[in-house]
Amino acid sequence: MKVLLVNKFHYKKGGSETYYFTLAQALQSQGHQVVYFAMADEKNEPCDQSKFFVSHVDYNSDSQNVFGRIWSGIKLIYSTESKKKMRLLIEREKPDLAILNLVHRQLTLSIVDELRKFRVPIFFVMHDLICICPNYTMLSHGKLCERCSGGHFLNCPRQKCVKGSFPKSLLAAAEAYFYKWRKTYDKVDLYIAPSVFLQHKLQSAGFTHSPIVHMRNPLPADTVYGLPEKAENYFLYFGRLSPEKGVLTLLKAVKELRELGKIALRIAGDGPQRPELEQYVRENELADQVSFLGFQTGQKLRDTVERCRCVILPSECYENCPYSILEAMVKGRPCIVSNLGGLPELVEDGKNGYVFQARDVDSLRGAIEKLLSLNAEEYSGMCTDALNKAKEEFDPNRYLDRLFGEYRRIKPASEDDNE
């Protein structure tokens, strides 16, 4: 088969792109042909379809004048350039299936119209909640918010949810109403939710009549599984440094744990909150316990994960199926996670890690204390359980079997619908 993968970024930027390239690798390993559609960017990986990529769009730019912003706003809702270039790509490549990932506001869902016109079945992988929340995270000023669920999108500009900006929030709400009015989400054949939590959120919002299935993210086909001989005595957080990730809560828990001795924490990643976190470390004299490693990737990150005692993801937002947890379990590392989103689906409390109450310093401290209290045999058993879960649930071949099973199921319906 020839599969078209669509994502606004064609370089390794975050978890969505990890999935995008992982899926491409898995498809190619089984002999399928992969073609791409994305946004032009100097950081992009080499690609034969790059001439079809759409012009770079910076949704966060404030440098334009009023008229420029209005025109950019229109293009962020419905891009005629994306639609035209998608048509040219389809005419040349003739894909059998299109799998959409992150497409809103840069590529836009204008491409759905062209895919439908050419009778290409469309799968849409839900990496976030943008179909039911204009701010895509269900966060409003750092707090969980579900006011827009069910199509009540005016709450977004009322609360200035998107970066505290009324114009950006209004644009996001306009986009949501536009797709609702055009019934765009009903034109997608199948939605894939990487967590049961996300599946239930999407279903309860009633934004589409199309089926929504749960399929957990796969790991790369060349993943090397294994237990390290010996873990070093440090805990690890790796990911984006922003308020919704709960890293400040983690630092507060580390501070409170001083009575048990100095708990070593390493933080791999970067983001807008890093200066605040570094200041907290300095002011509370934690510099001898907490190390900021900066952004890491590739083998360097794998080595850091493999040597840690435990990975901690203290998120204060609805996580989906984060690769940070999958990558930790591949190396047999137990995980401590908050109880939000899809995290409790990955970490079984007391078996391959611990689950704590989000935003609760004492609850997180208690989870860390439990892990520290394990004897060698108990800790080894927890590592083994983490590794076994990774082998059983994140296998790419099993994922593709399910993916193509869904394709065979919807393909006749897709053809009949376009007769």
The full DSSP string for 91-144 is HHH--SEEEE-S-TTTT-THHHHHHHHTT--EEEE-SSSTTT-TTSSSEETTEE
Residue 197, CA distances (Å) to 87, 311, 344 in order: 35, 22, 9
Phi, psi of 225 (to 5 degrees): -90, 150
Check whether 393 has a pLDDT greater than 80. yes
**Across 214-242, average pLDDT:** 90
Confidence of residue 419 (pLDDT cuts 50, 70, 90): very low
Q: Is the pLDDT of residue 187 over 50?
A: yes
Spatial CA neighbour of 25 closest among 191, 195, 218: 218
Q: What is the pLDDT of residue 14?
A: 85
Q: In this predicted model, which residue has the larger pLDDT, 153 or 258? A: 153
Residues 120-134: what's their mean pLDDT? 96
- The larger pLDDT score, comparing residue 323 to residue 228, is at 323
Cα atoms found within 13 Å of the Cα of residue 36, Cβ hemisphere only: 27
Q: Looking at residue 410, what is its pLDDT?
A: 86
What are the pLDDT digits (tens) for 317-373? Answer: 999 999 999 999 999 999 999 999 999 999 999 999 999 999 999 999 999 999 999
What's the rounded Cα separation, in Å, for the pair 223 and 26? 11
User: For residue 418, what pLDDT is reported?
Assistant: 46
The pLDDT of residue 32? 97
Residue 4: predicted pLDDT? 98
pLDDT, tens digit, for every residue of 229-238?
Answer: 778 889 999 9
The fraction of the chain above a pLDDT of 70, given in percent, is 94
Neighbours of 94 (CB within 10 A): 12
Cβ contact 198:124 at 8 Å: no
pLDDT of residue 73: 60
pLDDT 10s digits, 16-67: 999 999 999 999 999 999 999 999 999 999 999 999 999 987 655 554 444 4
pLDDT of 229 reads 76
List pLDDT tens digits, range 142-167: 899 999 988 999 999 999 999 899 98
Beta strands 353-356 and 335-338, pairing class? parallel
pLDDT at 248 > cutoff 70: yes
* Residue 95 pLDDT greater than 90, yes or no: yes
Separation between Cα atoms, residue 244 and residue 241, nearest integer Å: 9
The residues pairing with 312 across neighbouring beta strands, listed in sequence order, are: 336
Report CA dihedral (244, 245, 247, 249) to the nearest 10 degrees.
Answer: 60
Model pLDDT for residues 281-291, shown as the tens digit of each residue: 999 999 999 99
What local confidence, expressed as pLDDT, does residue 417 receive?
53
Q: With a threshold of 0.95, does the pTM exceed it? A: no
User: Which residue bears the tokens 């765009």?
Assistant: 184
pLDDT at position 62 is 53
Structure tokens at 332: 């047999």
In this structure, the strands spanning 97-100 and 2-6 are: parallel
